[in-house]
Chain A
Amino acid sequence: EAGVTQFPSHSVIEKGQTVTLRCDPISGHDNLYWYRRVMGKEIKFLLHFVKESKQDESGMPNNRFLAERTGGTYSTLKVQPAELEDSGVYFCASSQERGSHGYTFGSGTRLTVV
């Protein structure tokens, strides 16, 4: 079984530019989550999709962040425009059942804004 795949693994962009991160969950997993760790801080929840619908987006930091999940399959997280404080590692996770049982995380995308 393929795991959760994230692309790109690394991205370096200039402040003010746009970056789009992609996550492919495990096939058949309706639940998809985005988390991030910014420098020196804890891993923080961003949002949760159930299929194509946003179940909980309480962790999204501001309106520069836009998450989509077209057709309930892969998801994208766009940052526009990127700021220096957006630098960090962005993780995607998926699960078959709602709730925290046995999430599978991807390896993350390391975003550096310069």
Chain B
Amino acid sequence: DAKTTQPTSMDCAEGRAANLPCNHSTISGNEYVYWYRQIHSQGPQYIIHGLKNNETNEMASLIITEDRKSSTLILPHATLRDTAVYYCIVGGGGTSYGKLTFGQGTILTVHP
């Protein structure tokens, strides 16, 4: 079972920041937080991951709370092409090493 909780869907206006929340209250010390997205009919696409510190790359920023029980993925300037299902996944440590456990994800719709 997925170890994360995400809203089912969210809307965002084009050009605005999209902030996607994720709860992972049972995360253990050696587990990472990963974000992937799936654009219709394509395979999942890696976005970003983090352990404790906030992370930023060319696609997005990841903000992890100090207690690591929740995080937020930020797409700073959403475009129509960012419309997708976004998955927050906890793993990469212990017995789950190498295996991603997908949940239902958040359907993000970016509108003009």
Q: Which residue of A lies closest to B42 (CB)?
A: A107
Per the bound structure, the CA–CA distance linking A104 and B42 in Å amounts to 12
Interface positions, chain B 53-73, Cβ under 8 Å from A, are: none
From residue A75, how far is it (CB to closest CB) to chain B in Å?
A: 15
Is the pair B44, A98 in contact by a Cβ cutoff of 8 Å?
A: no
Q: Return 8 A-B CB contacts under 8 Å, by A number.
A: A43-B38, A44-B102, A58-B99, A59-B99, A93-B43, A99-B92, A100-B89, A105-B43
Is the pair A98, B100 in contact by a Cβ cutoff of 8 Å?
A: no
Residues on A lying within 8 angstroms of B by beta carbon are: 4, 31, 33, 35, 42-45, 48, 55-56, 58-59, 91, 93, 98-108
Contacts of B45 in A (CB 8 A): 105
Contacts of A55 in B (CB 8 A): 98
The size of the chain B interface, using a CB distance under 8 A, is 24
Most buried by B among A42, A101, A107: A42
Per the bound structure, the CA–CA distance linking A45 and B46 in Å amounts to 16
Scan B76-103; emit 1 where CB is below 8 A from any A CB, else 0: 0000000000010101100001111111
Contacts of A31 in B (CB 8 A): 98
With A99-B92, A100-B34, A101-B49: A45-B43 Cβ-Cβ less than 8 Å: no
Going nearest first, the 3 A-B pairs with the smallest beta carbon separation are A105-B43, A43-B102, A100-B92
From residue B86, how far is it (CB to closest CB) to chain A in Å?
A: 13
Per the bound structure, the CA–CA distance linking A45 and B96 in Å amounts to 11
Q: Which residue of A lies closest to B91 (CB)?
A: A100
Residue in A42, A101, A107 whose CB lies within 8 Å of B43: A107
With A43-B44, A91-B44, A93-B43: A103-B102 Cβ-Cβ less than 8 Å: no
